[in-house]
A and B are shown apart, each in its own frame.
Chain A
Amino acid sequence: MNGEPPVLTGWGSVTPAGVGRAAFHRTLAVPPGRPGGTDGCFAEVLPVQEAFAAVDFDGPGLLGAKATRFTDRSSELALVACESAVADSGLEIGDGNRDCVGVAVGTSAGSVSRGYWFGRETFLAARPHMVNPALFPNGALNGSAAETAIRLGARGANVTVSAGRTSGLVALRHAVAALRGGYARTVLAGAVEEFTPPNAWVARAGRDPDGRRFQGEAAVFFVVEDAGTARRAGRVPRAELLATEVACPGGPVTEGAYADVIDAALARAAVSAEAVTAVSATGTGAASDALWRTAARRRFGRPGTRWLDPEPYFGDCFGAMATVQLAEVLARQEADPRPGPAVAVVLAADADCGLAVCVVRPSAPREVQ
């Protein structure tokens, strides 16, 4: 890989509106509305009556009953999003390249529902080890990444990362590291967050005890490649991935610390703050968000800067949020026939894992297929 930045040659998603970019676009095409009702979706009681949950998502229907015998909801969401990204990119995985195709998955805590359904038998069964063995392997955090690699035959670097709300951008950072280190030429990178009863209660109790946010569910994946590989294969970049920087303040945070991360990302991208015309920002919802938002406003707060926040459209998708943000940046560019942003920045902040900053240069507009 030379000095050219890596490129995103495709992306795909599972959101409440359905599978793939077109569904994502449909959501953004109209003003955000209330989320769908969740009554009757689960046998268990939920902490909310409405959520941006992909209630119509049918993993077994899309992936096949055989392929979903051992999967959990997070894996199914990730698999389908990944396949839609691969289709969008035109990537073909075969014996000629499978050793060079990697996977990078961001997840906040794996599939919490899987963990719970697997483990509850240890409390209820007379013999506590008589759990369902098929549910076991995905108890580890890498379930989605493993399932994806197996289904697609991707034998390059395979990584799972966990960093709260910043997980998706951290996955992109690891995708780029795999490209730079020569452990892959193409990486399917993204993140997933499921809406299931245990996870919904964890979200409510842990992050939003007052119930001020709508919960979301999403998986978004990107095909990240080194520019030469994409060019040789004739795959058209939807964006250049200029930089992904992360910082986790272990202790009191300051505006300056956050400003340093933003500046490091801009320096890595070799772009000035003035070149940035769109900024997507999501955070914890706590008062501490003001610190990094202030740092961002000081750099990007000019008239004309487009500020994006996908939460009103997709809810709070926690571990997948940062990838939803990046998808919105790309989708807005794809949907807008006028010359779009020269450079866009995605900022994602987490209560535990700090701030992640991604700098991308979306390609010139092209028709949404």
Chain B
Amino acid sequence: MPAGDAPGRRVVITGVGPVSGIGIGARAFCRAVQDGRCGIAPARTFDATGFPITLTGEVPDFRPETLLRRTDPKSWGRSGQFAAAAARLAVHDAGLTDDRLRSARTAVVMGTASGESTTLVELAEGWVADGLPATPGELARKLPAGRIAAAVNHELGLRGEAVTVGTACSASNYALGYGYDLVRTGEADLAVTGGADAVNRFTHAGFHRIGALAARPCAPFDRDREGMTAAEGGAALVLEPYAAALERGAAVYAEVLGYGLTCDAKYPVRPDPEGIVRCIRMAHDRAGVRPADIDYVSAHGTGTGINDRIEAEALRTVFGDTVPPIGALKSLLGHTMGAAGAFASIATVLGIRHGFLPPTAHFSRPDPAFAWLDAVPGRARPGLIGVAQNNGFAFGGNNAIVVLGRVER
């Protein structure tokens, strides 16, 4: 693999915007992560009658009109609303004014798995009931997935690059990597990256049908794990050059040290340990770190039997007998799909700033297949993270891993 271009500028994260079922905004989300609070509950955003498993990770308190300043929620799909709200929170957290954002070259990169899925469900419900010719224009206009990133530009009044990345469940790690490259190479002065997806009937049914859904709240890496929980939310991070952050006196959460991208090119659904190992090694290489430098792994940790086993195997291959402590945020949120990587990055950088290791909830019985694994069970563990890696894997074998590091002050 070629080495890539010159290192360029150091890039740091100065703002986070989580819109999640366990907390909206940095402070509430941080507290919930530290407490290991779980937001998984029976579905409310769609009629789950007839589904044997109804648990989802929704954001019941999401009222976009209270978070958005320039955007009329009615004109946008739920994923776009999540993205815009998360971005609004993140730039506020970064202490950036709209004027500053607009005068800079600000890029927006938002990941998603299913785009405006609730809009598609609404369209399909109408088609089933009334036929295709009854397609409402207002719904059809909301369907393009590119509107998710566009919603952020609309909310923040930006006019630069805005791209929606659709690499499924690793999309927001890819988004962070791409945004990092834009800032690092000087293509952009600032980047707002993240992801958004919405709980919906179709995704729920799909995971249900392939036997991936858990009847109990998701328990990654636990011996008795049953599967995942389909969830939703919006998550955004603000990236800027380290020098610019210092100059404006911004509080720095962490530095983006590098990222890895690989594709298994093997199975549509199942992950491949070889592709994951290759991605971890590439991420370390790009970040200029060795396995021994990693203090914490934010696992992809979906909670399904096979995914967690393959992820644990891959970690063991790279780290040998010294796999760092790992946390699986999906045990708190469920699987937020295209937002999952960004939520995990947010939890990780909060841990870096506040000195804790984000936990794995519902973990009580080690799996004999990887009894060595330290899953940081229950609540956050006090501890300093110097360097962390955040794993993101997806259908289609899309692997994206981000390496984040503490910035010494």
Contact = CB atoms under 8 A, between A and B. Distances in A.
Interface of A: 1, 44-45, 47, 70, 98-100, 102-103, 107-110, 112, 115-116, 118-124, 126-133, 136-143, 145-147, 149-150, 152-164, 166-167, 170, 174, 177-178, 180-183, 185, 197-198, 201-207, 209, 226, 246-251, 257, 319, 350, 352-354
Contacts of B60: none
B153 A249 contact: yes
B154 interface: yes
A122 B128 CA distance: 10
A1 B3 CA distance: 8
A100 B210 contact: no
Given A118-B206, A248-B150, A352-B144, A143 B124 contact: no
A242 B147 CA distance: 27
Interface in B121-174: 121, 123-125, 127-129, 131-133, 135-137, 139-141, 143-150, 152-169, 174
B372 interface: no
B50 interface: yes
Given A150-B265, A161-B166, A249-B153, A201 B181 contact: no
B85 to A, nearest CB: 15
The range of chain B's interface size is: 35 or more
Given A181-B5, A248-B159, A250-B155, A45 B167 contact: no
Interface of B: 1-5, 49-53, 70, 108, 112-117, 120-121, 123-125, 127-129, 131-133, 135-137, 139-141, 143-150, 152-169, 174, 178, 181, 185, 201-210, 261-269, 275, 278, 394-398
Contact of A201 (B3, B140, B394): B140
Contacts of B115: 109-110, 141, 162
A119 B206 CA distance: 9
A162 B144 contact: yes
A143 B396 contact: yes
Given A119-B121, A119-B202, A247-B159, A47 B166 contact: no
A139 B202 contact: yes
Given A70-B268, A118-B206, A128-B50, A110 B166 contact: yes
Contacts of B208: 129
B2 A182 contact: yes
Contacts of A44: 132
22 contacts: A99-B1, A100-B2, A109-B120, A119-B121, A129-B52, A129-B204, A136-B210, A140-B113, A150-B265, A156-B262, A157-B263, A159-B174, A161-B164, A178-B261, A180-B4, A181-B4, A202-B140, A205-B137, A205-B139, A206-B143, A353-B149, A354-B150
Given A122-B205, A248-B149, 12 more contacts: A45-B131, A100-B2, A107-B145, A130-B209, A149-B263, A162-B164, A163-B164, A166-B146, A180-B181, A197-B132, A247-B159, A248-B160
Given A146-B397, A250-B152, A198 B265 contact: no
Contact of B395 (A137, A166, A353): A137
Contacts of B203: 139
Given A136-B209, A155-B275, A183-B261, A248 B161 contact: yes
A149 B120 contact: no
Contact of B128 (A124, A181, A257): A124
B395 A119 contact: no
Contacts of A140: 113-114, 166, 168-169, 394-396
B9 to A, nearest CB: 14
A136 B157 CA distance: 36
A331 B129 CA distance: 45
Contacts of A120: 124, 127-128
Contacts of A226: 2
A96 to B, nearest CB: 12
A250 B132 contact: no
B167 A160 contact: yes
Contacts of B161: 246-248
B132 A141 contact: no
Nearest to B143: A109
Contact of B4 (A122, A183, A205, A352): A183
Contacts of A108: 144-146
B163 A163 contact: yes
Contact of B178 (A115, A147, A162, A174): A174
Nearest to B140: A206
A128 B145 contact: no
B146 A163 contact: yes
A248 B162 contact: yes
Contacts of B117: 115
Contacts of A158: 167, 261, 263, 265, 396-398
Contacts of A181: 4-5, 181
Contacts of B120: 109, 112, 115-116, 119
A119 B205 contact: yes
A198 B143 CA distance: 12
A130 B52 CA distance: 11
Given A133-B209, A150-B267, A248-B150, A142 B160 contact: no
Contacts of A1: 2, 4-5
Contacts of A47: 132-133
A153 B262 CA distance: 12
A119 B114 CA distance: 13
Contacts of B398: 142, 145-146, 158
Contacts of A185: 2
A178 B154 CA distance: 27
Name the residue among A124, A128, A180, A249 with the largest chain B CB count within 10 angstroms: A128
**Among B114, B155, B261: residue with most chain A CB under 10 A:** B261
Contacts of B267: 150
